[in-house]
Structure 1
Amino acid sequence: MKKIIIINGPNLNLLGKREPQIYGSLTFNEFFETIKEKYPNVSLEHFQSNIEGEIIDKLHEAGFSYEGIILNAAAYTHTSVGIGDAVAGIETPVVEVHISNTFNREDFRHQSFVAPHAKGIIVGFGLQSYELGIQSFLNPL
């Protein structure tokens, strides 16, 4: 059974409440329950923090014992050299995901400190971005 963790960054705890026109009306926990049911043969976990250092610590913890990490570092994607360095320093492949199309938003969101170290990036498919990330680990090219 593949072991995959989803790590979410700042403000993603507000999914379902925050800007539903961009992020939808489901909470992440509601969405997570649906994907756990859809992928019963995958050991799925998730972690969310608004604190940069906690995200780095979780990457270090998962980065040598999981088969895949799906990382939505949210705003830290564009600002955190430390998270980018953490992704570079671990063995587990990381897929960077974003719910919104970051290239359709403010210019500062067009840069990622994660992407140069990621297996790939998925942006703009709503919560389905996470499912596409899972599929990338189950059906490698």
Structure 2
Amino acid sequence: MHILILHGVNLNMLGKRDPAHYGTVTLEEINARLAALANELDVEISFFQTNHEGEMVERIHLASAGDIDGAVFNAGAWTHYSYAIMDALGILRVPVVEVHMSNIHAREPFRRRSVLAPVCSGSIAGFGVASYLLALRAVAEIAATTRPA
């Protein structure tokens, strides 16, 4: 099983950006924790991060060719307005779990709405790094129960 981990805009700045909401963990540390969990779950993972919306859309298009069984996606601010990414995710025929490290429902009103949620299997928010780990477990479970034998 192959799960794609997608990190969106500004996530390369984790550890430096707004530690009150996101803590001091870096993206590299998150990826290392995800890799350790993937090993425990016996799944292959790959990572992609970009600050460019078109590059994210292109990577999702590439994934639609069938090279993945599921995805974990923290889109950052794109969550709240990127209909281009929503449309690209809608092409995928695999489970996608939306991730937020902070509790978006307890933050500014614009952060409480996700335009991506309608094309995702579910969302996990507010648990810091654990949000990613919970999402990986969830998408692996969903993919295992929905993929053809």
* Counterpart in the other structure of 1:13: 12
AA in 2 matched with 1:77 = T
Q: Write the distance in 1 (CA, Å) between the matches of 2:18 and 2:106.
A: 15
Report the counterpart of residue 125 of structure 2 in structure 1. 123
Q: Helix, strand or coil: the match of 1:95?
A: strand
Moved more, 131-140 or 80-89: 131-140
Taking only aligned residues, the RMSD between alpha carbons, in angstroms, comes to 1.3
Matches of 1:39 and 1:89 in 2, distance apart? 25
Map residues 86-105 of structure 1 onto 2, 5 A cutoff.
86-105=88-107
Kindly indicate which of the two structures has a greater share of residues assigned to helix. Answer: 2
What per-residue deviation string (whole Å, max 9, x for no partner) do you get for residues 9-46 of structure 1? 11100001111121111111122112212321221111
Residues 1:133 and 2:132 are matched in the alignment:
no
8 Å Cα contact 2:34/2:136 also seen in 1:
no
Gaps of 5+ in 1: none
TM-score with structure 2 setting the length = 0.88
What residue in structure 2 maps to residue 78 of structure 1?
A: 80
Of 75-84 and 59-68, the range deviating more from structure 2: 59-68
The alignment's TM-score, normalised by the length of structure 1, stands at 0.93
Name the % identity. 41
Superposition deviation, residue 137 in structure 1: 2.4
**What's the counterpart of residue 114 of structure 1?**
116
User: What are the Cα deviations for residues 30-80 of structure 1, in whole angstroms up to 9, with x where unaligned?
Assistant: 221122123212211111111111111111112322011111111011011
Structure 2 gap segments, 5+ residues each:
none
How many residues in Structure 1 have an aligned counterpart in Structure 2? 140
Which deviates the most, 100-109 or 57-66? 57-66
Give the residue type in structure 2 aligned to 1:58: R
